[in-house]
Amino acid sequence: MARILITGAAGFIGSHLCDRFIKEGYDVVGMDNLITGDLANIEHLFPHKRFEFYHHDVSKFVHVPGDINYILHFASPASPIDYLKMPIQTLKVGSLGTHNLLGLAKVKNARILVASTSEVYGDPLEHPQNENYWGNVNPIGPRGVYDEAKRFQEAITMAYHNFHGLETRIVRIFNTYGPRMRQEDGRVLPAFFSQAIRGEGLTVFGNGSQTRSFCYVDDLVEGIYRLLLSDYALPVNMGNPSEITILQFADEILKLVNNPKAHIIYNPLPIDDPKQRQPDISLAKSLLDWSPKVDREDGLKETYTYFKKIVAN
């Protein structure tokens, strides 16, 4: 059976990918430096004989003995407050880390899929965003360390593909949610669930009119699985096109949690916060016959079950 290396294995999306590839019968090598990942996300995999784990920072030379057939590069801080706390690590994992993994893919003759992001579109001037849009990114703003690292990641991945003939895949991931998101990662869904469960104010930034489109993690994992096994090397958007304002999102969470003490409060809008974001997924639909299946109501219920367990009231 094939052997796959998954970086960022202890993170939110990485851990779900580990589960999926174990289920599909692969030998899975997880790798994480645990600066934002949490071993609790993959603890259940350690007894599995097809799972092994390396505690390693992929920004440094990566060595894995034995054959590797596939690599999924999902290591990176991934929320705006993480970039502020760890700007250099964020830049390094997207640039040096990607370079190391491309080098590893080359010596192992492996196919590599890298996790890119809707952030490559910045604060978009086109709506919805399709893969041909070049983006509107501030390179020196607070998000620049992530956005530019991911843009560099796409460039070097295409260079290895074109120059070395490496088999590469690029997924541009839009806002994704589900169990195993870090409670304190500052992103909107963990923040709102934690605040609603504790009966606090839900911190809507700005007037809440900015939009996002939220994709349930199982749908994303299915798309990534199909993309990896496809033969398409250019970037592919993945996300759920169902778009809502952040204020509507706060209302949905208030209704679901139904804590009479919870309410909405307004905080200042962070610098360079994109005003709207919605993926155009027609490419993924036609290429991979993929589209999201879980609607927000069901996805939020599943996610609420998880947050109820981890948030101390």
**Least CB distance to ligand UDP at residue 189 (A):** 6
- Give the tokens for residue 164: 């070395």
How far apart CA 196 and CA 178 sit, in angstroms, is 16
In the set 146, 160, 177, 216, the catalytic residue is 146
Pick 73 or 187: Cβ nearer ligand UDP? 187
65 or 268: CB nearest ligand UDP = 268
Asked whether the beta carbons of 222 and 269 are under 8 A apart, the reply is: no
Is 177 a catalytic site residue? no
Comparing CA positions, the residue from 213, 273, 276, 205 lying closest to residue 243 is 213
| Nearest-angstrom CA–CA distance, 175 and 188 | 10
Residue 256 to residue 263: CA distance in whole angstroms: 13
> What tokens appear for 158 in the block?
């295409």
The C-alpha atoms of residue 115 and residue 187 are separated, in whole angstroms, by: 18
Which phi-psi region, left, alpha or beta, contains residue 208 (left: φ > 0; alpha: ψ -120 to 50)?
left
Taking the least distance from each CB to ligand UDP, the nearer of 38 and 273 is 273
The three-state secondary structure class of 252 is helix
- Contact between 172 and 118 under an 8 Å Cβ cutoff? The reply is yes
Binding site for ligand UDP (CB under 6 A): 79-80, 175, 187-188, 191, 203-205, 210, 212, 246, 270, 273
User: Closest approach of Cβ 205 to ligand UDP, in Å?
Assistant: 3
Write down the least CB distance from residue 142 to ligand UDP, Å. Answer: 11
Q: Which is nearer to ligand UDP, 76 or 210 (CB)?
A: 210
User: C-beta of 152: minimal distance to ligand UDP in Å?
Assistant: 18
Q: With respect to ligand UDP, which residue has the nearer C-beta, 62 or 246? A: 246
Q: Are strands 235-238 and 243-245 parallel, antiparallel or unpaired?
A: unpaired
Catalytic residues: 146
